[in-house]
Amino acid sequence: MTYGGKLRGIPISPLEGGDARQGRGGYFPATFIDRLRYDVVTPLCHSRDISPSRGEIRGSLPPSSSLTCNGFPSEWTGWGGASSRQSMTPAIRRKSIPIFLLPVLSGALLLTPLIAAGGDPIFPTTRSDLNPKDQKRVEAVTRPTTDFSKPEQFELMEGGAATSRAIVNGNAFSHFSANLTFEEEETFKLGNALFTKLWVSAPSSTQASDGLGPLFNARACQSCHLKDGRGHPPEGSADATSMFLRLARPARTDEEREAIADYRKLNFPDATYGEQLQDLAVPGLKSEGRMQISYEEIPVTLAGGEVVHLRKPAYSVAGLSHGPLESDVTVSPRVAPPMIGMGLIQAIHESDILAKADPDDRDGDGISGKPALVRDHRSGELKLGRFGYKAQNATIRDQSASAFAGDMGISTPDNPSSHGDCTKAEAECLAMPTGVQERLGPVEAPDPVMELVTFYSENLAVPARRDLADPTVLKGKQLFQQSGCIACHTPKFVTRRDAGNKAHAFQLIWPYSDFLLHDMGEGLADGQQVGVADGREWRTQPLWGIGLTETVNGHTFFLHDGRARNLTEAILWHGGEAQKARDAFAALSKDDRAALVKFLGSL
């Protein structure tokens, strides 16, 4: 018997018994706001200028050359960014590091750049939330299995107690975490209503809903995140909703290089078109241009003689409204990623992600794994990036606020520019009316819109696995492991005990990602730097729910730009650090390849 029934008012964690969970007062529970603040320990510095083209900086920014944030001097350049890998040479102050860490550090020197010169770790290097006994238990349960004769314990519940057990249909990605309280369920539903809400151009009779654009890619969150799932390339349809082009150029001056090295900038926008190409505009305004794609079919022969065609895309922009892009600006296509399980990802402890980092490949396995360091948009605090194709955002809130601004042109308290991605060169865009209503606040989407949409985005449940005991699926799981896929697609984590939302706390989850950046080779490279990530690096995409893409979205277009038409093609596009695993897959027999793909389909 399958039950959707769940315990209300009682949190259930797979690893922890059910303590009675108290209801919370008010519509927007205080703890909800608290969560958003919980890890904002000390503002490092008030550099708010994460989104360069939007200009508005809250607080003052000290001269960057002398910037010191929590003992973290700007002279230290960190991983990647403008600096090369060879430049990472800050000395470790070993005396400041707990003794039990030394084996880890001396083994790989992984955490070097994460230790400030002043001696304070930027991130905790161990599970500060766990006692030693729990630490051992977590290590045991997250170790990759060696028994492929049957499913692992708890493997069914891919998102821990938050997993949705609803009957699988087109709504499979739209359910809320199964362990929410009734009250949180309401917050989720209000968030959902805003997520599907169509914003309209100002001025409008529905004042609470206007403020769209002036330039935009979509009128509603859901326009791209179709059924909370995966977007797709246009495939013949006229407009490109659910996919767009990011525009960026690298640093040109020392000052700009310094800004990147200090994580204040991820890259720099096109002087005219801003951070992304908006292919739609409000009435009376021209859109910026249209994305154009052409594909070239490339045959690839696999073991046994099977020939698979990969389609290699080429991107360009037609009908640019204000002349060409700057010469050093690159375009990077992005389809909307699925929305499931993000609160759980946010609740993974930093030390668990950093434990897998090996930016200089000191263990010589050909896999690096670079953590993305980014600044929290509101506090300026340095955090571990985990969201977005380049792991450019540390929190779901930051990711959501960026989407409001860039994709829809809606200002939020986090990003108060009501003209969205209009630049100074687009004067007619800046002259358009905004949707700000004095009585509702200084932005188009005033509180509690961001809170609600963020909560919603944190609590879309991961569906339970299907067919996980099927012998072919189990074989595929073994082949997935043996082919080296799990070197980056890390199967399991146990989330932090002190997660901001109890529903996300201490859950055994199966995202199949290490949330680190990897060189994925020339084939997938977009040539666009995003903070720490260079033009060949991408964050490992979580694989949970990937097998339901067709059920939910009616297609199987994968990778950042939807170029792969099925899972096999997606695997074959893997290059760079993933080349070995890709080759191992290509060398499997046809049946074995099918088993591996069937395993992915069961996720």
Helix (H) or strand (E) holding 226: none
Of 157 and 570, CB closest to another protein: 157
Q: What is the DSSP letter of 5?
A: -
User: CB count, 10 Å around CB of 435?
Assistant: 26
Taking the complex as a whole, the smallest distance from the CB of residue 237 to another protein amounts, in Å, to: 4
Contact 506, 15 (CB under 8 A): yes
Taking the complex as a whole, the smallest distance from the CB of residue 124 to another protein amounts, in Å, to: 22
Of 400 and 483, CB closest to another protein: 400
Taking the complex as a whole, the smallest distance from the CB of residue 415 to another protein amounts, in Å, to: 21
Of 231 and 385, CB closest to another protein: 231
Q: Two tokens at 449? A: 């819109």
Of 46 and 165, CB closest to another protein: 165
DSSP line for 11-49: --BTTB---------SSS-HHHHHHHHHT--S------T
Taking the complex as a whole, the smallest distance from the CB of residue 236 to another protein amounts, in Å, to: 4
Taking the complex as a whole, the smallest distance from the CB of residue 73 to another protein amounts, in Å, to: 42
Contact 389, 539 (CB under 8 A): yes
Taking the complex as a whole, the smallest distance from the CB of residue 293 to another protein amounts, in Å, to: 14
Taking the complex as a whole, the smallest distance from the CB of residue 31 to another protein amounts, in Å, to: 16
Of 107 and 554, CB closest to another protein: 554
CA 111 to chain centre: 22
Among 465, 408, 446, residue whose Cα is nearest residue 153 = 465
Of 223 and 392, CB closest to another protein: 223
Taking the complex as a whole, the smallest distance from the CB of residue 149 to another protein amounts, in Å, to: 17
- Does a cis peptide bond (omega within 30 degrees of 0) precede residue 203? yes
Among 38, 83, 17, residue whose Cα is nearest residue 346 = 38
Among 590, 603, 597, residue whose Cα is nearest residue 476 = 597
Q: Two tokens at 569? A: 């093609």
Establish how many alpha carbons lie within 13 A of residue 321's alpha carbon, considering only the half-sphere containing its beta carbon: 22
Taking the complex as a whole, the smallest distance from the CB of residue 188 to another protein amounts, in Å, to: 7
CA distance readout (Å), 55 to 52, 417, 438, 452: 6, 8, 21, 25
Taking the complex as a whole, the smallest distance from the CB of residue 181 to another protein amounts, in Å, to: 8
Q: Which residue has the tokens 């896929």?
A: 485
Of 259 and 277, CB closest to another protein: 277
Of 219 and 386, CB closest to another protein: 219
How many whole angstroms separate alpha carbon 213 and alpha carbon 406?
Answer: 9
CA 417 to chain centre: 23
Of 286 and 424, CB closest to another protein: 286
Chain length of the chain: 603
Of 129 and 526, CB closest to another protein: 129
User: CB count, 10 Å around CB of 33?
Assistant: 13
Beta bridge mates, 296: 312
